[in-house]
Structure 1
Amino acid sequence: MNVGVDYYPEHWDPAMWPADAVEMKAAGITLVRLAEFAWSRLEPQEDQFDFRWLDNAIALFAAQRINIIIGTPTAAPPNWLVEKYQDILPVDHHKHPVYPGVRCHRCYNSPSLRRHALNIIEALTRHYVGHSAVIGWQTDNEIAANDCHCENCTREFRSWLQRKYLTLENLNQAWGTVVWSGEYSAWSQVTTPLGGSPHHNPSFVLDFQRFSSDSAADFNRFQAEIIRKNCPRHFVTHNLWGYPVVTDYYRLFDPMDFVSVDYYPSTDLKDDTKAAIYHGALTLDLTRGVKRKNFWVMEQLSGTPGCWNPMSRAPWPGMIRAHGWQSISRGADSIIHFRWRTARAGAEQFWHGLLDSHGHPGRRLAEFKTFASEVAQLNDLISGTRLHNEVALLFSHEQNNAFNIQPQSDGFDYFKNLKQLHQTLVRQGVGVDVINWTENVDDYTLVVAPFLFLEDAAVALTLENYVKGGGTLVLTTRTGVKNSFNVCQSDYLPGLLGGIGGIRVEEYDPVGFDKQKILLFKDEIGCSQWCDIIMPITAKTIGVYASDFFSGRSAVTVNAVGKGSVYYIGSVLDDSGYRRLFADILRECRIEFIDDLPAGVELSVRCDKTKRLLFILNLTKEQQSVSLPERVRYDAFSGEAVLPTLSLGPFEVRIVLEE
């Protein structure tokens, strides 16, 4: 277990560095990330490298026994590079170059970017391969798929399509280009989706997004190969940035040793709209699921967020510590806080660090020190543990992208709906693995596979075999609508999964914000966004609509298949409806849960072959009470017995050993 900070020595007077290093050591810091935006200092002019300042900074940390991660600086190409090699810049859908702004002004398919990225990464890795304090590398920073329409991307996109479809005839057939006279008669006619029209062929747009994601993944792989060649004993990781994004993170992280995430939970607890991409526990569970193993947090909340938006609230006392432990509870093995000192210049002046820009210690640093000392105290206990959950929630970048291309109804949002399902299980104290929808699921007792809009025969077969073998599967509305080319199917919904669902969707109503009602186990609950009007074939109806013209028709069903069962939810339920339904499903699956866990309280378990650590976190400003199932428990810090009913203060964290 490591606790560290992100530090930017190039932003500060070198005379300040020694005191910073000493103070970091005193704070319990064991790891520092450096240099991920420092290309102009590392290579001030083309092929003229200057690592002396970085050598000096690393030497100061090494003297304090603090290890170093170096970031490759390719997310911030310097001005000399942009001026001399214009193909570095991405081009928007109107064919206008995207000029340097904050950062990330680069096209992954630019030959000049690849050439100069190779030069700087080669020089850095050769220089630091033997340094005892340097233990690993972070590639680039928060790589995201570019919406780039430059000539290089146009050429590479055509090649990508030729490899996929082989002939124009196949492409025309797959995309249905006959609509609106869009058929291609020569490859030269195929461009990127220019103009920004919302009416582009959705098959065309989805394939372009796939290409853009592949370009980002290839750029990441290109960097990893250089690092591994020159620094075979160092780890290689990358820091993903939030959800949802176009980029397929599963492919992006193929060449990485482990996943890292930049995690900034909302400090505006009653209104997280400014931090809408940070979905708390869901982000951490998604991150763990990318490689299905423990991960790192490369940037963690340290102070008031604020940069391109108005500033958010200051972290409430205890919040920094609590969210550090939340990350560990969900699989993080190292927590690196952004940043040591708040910037005085540049775009991130108001994205606060552990210290304010004046550098004097305050409340936030004191809280961080407490967290660091606690991690050190429990290091031996936590190291080697991981999460072993019985429930999987399937996630798909493909589905998210397809829904964004063609919104289904007012208020229908794939990721928000996924978050609601995840939050339902979190509110019941159930651990969830959020994994790629194409993964094997045989080890899980319950699999929730929501909104499988794009149908995949291999996935359908995997889920069918899983259910026949005794698994419980939950399907939802908007399943089996399209094939992988983003073209609508010609069969009843839910397509290939209709057989194990034991149903067919006879009609649907995109009700949007128009609230509807369902009688579920004789309880009236609310629903909205979408209503499938279901005809049960072999399934049993457990919920019927109680409003509108489809009143009395099936809304929620369950079907016995082999040794397992399949639930189908034909609408988007309200929170109470999901909790009611999943309580019944969890009982049927014999999965332990808590029916009345307060909102904002989370439970998570890390374990190994000899011990089981339960993390109990109150992530609210209010006092909360939690009643746990009867079991022998001991406080991990004091060793004292822990009673089943706990009272938790605001942002209080309890870590207990369970028998």
Structure 2
Amino acid sequence: MTRSHTDLAWPTDGLSYGGDYNPEQWDRSVWREDVELMRRAGVNMVSLGIFSWGLLETAEGVYDWEWFDEIVDLLGENGISIDLATPTAAPPSWLLAAHPEFPPIDEDMTRHWPGARLGWCPSNPDFRVHALRIVRAVAERYGSREHVVMWHVSNELGGGNGHCYCDASAVSFRRWAQRKYGTIDAVNAAWGTAFWGHRFTSFEEIFPPRGNDAKNPSLMLDYDRFSSDELLDHYLAERALLQEITPELPITTNFMVGAESDAVDYPRWAPHMDVLANDHYTRSSDPLPEQDVALSGDRMRAMTTDRRPWLLMEHSTSAVSWQPRNRAKNPGELIRNALSHVAHGADGVMFFQWRASRAGAEQFHSAMVPHAGADTKVFREVTTLGSYLQKLAPVQGSRVRPSTVGILFDDEAGWAMRRGVKPNNFLPYGQAVRAWHKAFWQRGDGIDVLSPWQDFSGYDTLVVPQLFLVSDDTARRAAEFVEAGGTLIVTAFSGIVDENDQVRLGGYPGAFREVLGAWSEEFYPLQDGETFELDNGWGGTEWTEHVHTESAETIARYRGGHLDGSPAVTLRTFPSGGRAVYVSAGLEGDAIAALVDQLIAQPTAVPGLGTPGLEVGVRESEDERFVFLLNHGAEAASVEIDGHELLTDAPVSGTVTVPAGETRVIRSPR
């Protein structure tokens, strides 16, 4: 049975609200207090059973259902729906003791030891047998319960087992390569094995990229692809079994979409989700965490069909526990982060976790109920957020207003950039994506963070930031976008290699040279602490290039040094009015913003534009508009707008004032 995330109804009435619930960590005496507090907070759904395999199956084929029956019944009696997990994220100790071959092996052939999450190799066929046994047992016992409304397959797949280099993985990788390429000659051509004389004569000679530092980057890229595919195959095996038993229930797994993924190609997984779900955590060191929330939402939304709503499966009420210094969220930040996700298309807000743990690896991770209990800032804000989400029920099912700006992002391009040596080995792929997103986000432009294979035609501007790996098809469609009148902005180190991670010849950026009308003959990455300056006053760090123009004009030149007078930013104009811009220099934030303002007209339909710290998001249904005004600044912001404010339940005529740190949502006819 094949279906996509467009087919099934949303799992809850109204916006979903709750979090991971782990009652197994607590005595039964706490459970009734939990559900009472859930009702007080407005919780309508919890994710249950994520790490419960060893407590449900105490030995092979031996089950203890009594405690789980009790908690499932208790939640149902209190009107709380269940997003029920298959507990395969946490294999039991007895299983790993009996099968020491199940845990993943690192590239240096060091075996993972039991005790972490996802401690299994996705290529091991024997593990799959055990996993599907517990999935079937859980599904057959609880799948027909009325308040079980969705399946949550495993948890953060790839978060502990993204790559395994064991012998079972080697066998699967050879099969994968043979399916993809057909012949060993095709493998040799794709991986460029003539270099260093590493030509293969049979598939049996292929191994995972283990051990030494000087690995073949094309082989490593394919191993990344293979690893993502193996994890997806495991998800699909669980999904197929769940569909067989409960065809009416939606199925998902939680993505980890922030900047870039080290293991999972989420956009290629997305069509297999009935509801797209994401885990997102801000970083204590981030000077602009609200933009990171927006970037994540803009990428999640672009993965859905027809810009449909998605689910925020996890975020934090306050501090996390896995960063070097874990900052507690400021008063109001919890609510503002959550509502920003809703503004960017989420129809549900969930947390990790419901009650802060006393023991274990995440004992200092914040939760909806902190260690100090309910009489706390965090729980008061949790309760306030619950009341807000109930007031925002009319928003459910609406879509974020169509965006004018598309920014291309591809995990495969990031993998290719990271694997193997590069001219500058300190350029994180996601850093450029975020820098360009910030420039448009601060202006109030609507942004979709697109995959390269998606349709570009509905956008006014298409940005290609450091998209190292580019297919011929993507390059062709980008050229068609410009020829049809769009503005294309290509930054340094884009279009350098093809799908096989082989350098495109004839000048950089190879895939885009023709449409840009400019090309570079050599990279000049800067040394640590070095900067450059352009003749218009812009500056930056990290990267410069020796650029030549053909059919493009120069709009900024390098000033000083060996590149003095050479083109740094070029512009080619097409008869249609389309424009192709090449930014060869590693511009910093203010310079990027200035270039964007020079090229792109300011949006006119966004209320409050120009108010420092004010973020505006717009969602629309067939006949209504919902304008989210999120004030991240330190001063109150006044916005000219008419309608009805949902959070304070007050009419708005002419002007609404949004206090510092707060949010307002204006409902009006469309």
Normalised to the residue count of structure 1, the TM-score between the two structures is 0.93
Cα deviation code 1:537-575 (max 9, x no counterpart): 111221111232212221112212352221111122111
- 1:115 Cα deviation after fit: 0.2
2:178 equivalent in structure 1: 162
Gaps of 5+ in 2: 1-14
- 1:58-104 deviations in Å (ceiling 9; x for gaps): 11111111111111111111111111122311112232321113211
2:408/2:467 contact within 8 Å kept:
no
Structure 2: distance between partners of 1:602 and 1:640: 21
Change (3 A) 1:54 1:364: same
Which amino acid in 2 is paired with 1:395? F
Q: What's the counterpart of residue 641 of structure 1?
A: 652
Residue 458 in structure 1 maps to residue 473 in structure 2: yes
Cα displacement (A) at 1:37: 0.6
| 2:165–2:210 CA contact under 8 A, matched in 1 | yes
Q: Secondary structure at the match of 1:289?
A: helix
Aligned to 1:472, which of 487, 495, 506? 487
Is the 2:631–2:658 contact (alpha carbons within 8 Å) kept by the matching residues of 1? no
1:19 matched to 2:33: yes
Q: How does 1:555-570 map to 2 (within 5 A)?
A: 555-563=568-576, 564-570=578-584
Tell me which amino acid in the other structure corresponds to 2:630: L
Distance 1:641 1:589 in 2: 23
Structure-2 change in CA distance of 1:394 and 1:590 (3 Å): farther
Q: Distance in 1 between matches of 2:623 and 2:609?
A: 28
8 Å contact 2:345–2:400 — kept in the other structure? yes
Residue pair 1:446, 1:589 contacting (<8 A) in 2 also: no
Q: How does 1:1-400 map to 2 (within 5 A)?
A: 1-144=15-158, 146-195=162-211, 197-243=212-258, 244-246=260-262, 247-267=264-284, 270=287, 279-291=292-304, 292-306=307-321, 308-310=322-324, 312-357=326-371, 359-400=373-414
Cα deviations by residue, 1:623-649 (Å, 9 ceiling, x for unpaired): 2546x6x65455334443365685631
Mapping for residues 454-603 of structure 1, pairs under 5 Å: 454-513=469-528, 514-519=530-535, 523-563=536-576, 564-587=578-601, 596-598=610-612, 600-603=613-616
- Describe the SS at the equivalent of 2:586: strand
Task: Provide the C-alpha distance between the structure 2 equivalents of 1:526 and 1:335, rounded to a whole number of angstroms.
Answer: 40
**Matched AA of 1:355:** V
Q: State how far apart, in whole Å, the 2-side matches of 1:245 and 1:269 are.
A: 18
Aligned counterpart, 2:8: none
Give the letter aligned to residue 491 of structure 2: T
Report the AA paired with residue 184 of structure 1: F
Would you say 1:654 and 2:669 are equivalent positions? no
- 1:507 Cα offset (Å): 3.0
Q: How far has the Cα of 1:218 moved from its partner?
A: 1.1
1:398-454 residue CA offsets vs partner (Å, 9 max, x unmatched): 110111113441642211111111111111111211121111111112111222322
Matched, 1:623 2:638: no
Q: CA RMSD in A?
A: 2.3
Query: How many equivalent pairs are there?
Result: 645
Secondary structure of 2:276's match?
strand
Letter of the 1:233 partner, please give it.
E
Q: Quick one: distance in 2 between partners of 1:499 and 1:270? A: 38
Instruction: Write the distance in 2 (CA, Å) between the matches of 1:267 and 1:555.
Output: 35
CA distance in structure 2 between the aligned counterparts of 1:368 and 1:455, rounded to whole angstroms: 44
Q: Secondary structure at the match of 2:434?
A: helix
| Contact 2:641-2:656 at 8 Å conserved across structures | no
Task: Check conservation: 1:428, 1:593, Cα contact below 8 A.
Answer: no
Alpha carbons 1:545, 1:553 under 8 Å: kept:
yes
SS at match of 1:510: coil
Separation of aligned partners in 2, 1:584 and 1:592: 19
Cα separation, 2, equivalents of 1:566 and 1:374: 44
Partners of 2:656 and 2:34 lie apart in 1 by 43
How far apart are 1:267 and its partner, in Å? 4.8
What is the alpha-carbon distance in structure 2 between the residues aligned to residue 173 and residue 13 of structure 1? Answer: 61
* Greater alpha carbon shift after TM alignment, 200-209 vs 159-168: 159-168
Aligned residue among 429, 434, 439 for 1:414: 429
Instruction: Using the TM superposition, name which of 106-115 and 258-267 deviates more.
Output: 258-267
Q: Kindly tell me: are residues 105 and 642 of structure 1, through their superposed partners in 2, closer, same or farther at Cα, counting changes over 3 Å? A: farther
Per-residue CA distance 1:225-255 (angstroms, 9 max, x = gap): 1111111111111111243223101223331
CA distance in structure 2 between the aligned counterparts of 1:300 and 1:75, rounded to whole angstroms:
18
Instruction: State the alpha-carbon separation in 1 of the partners of residues 560 and 237 from structure 2.
Output: 56
Cα shift at 1:591: 8.2
Deviations 1:577-608 (A, max 9, x none): 1111111222189886987452x542211112
Deviation at 1:473, TM superposition (A): 1.4
Q: 1:543 to 1:160 in 2, by over 3 A?
A: same
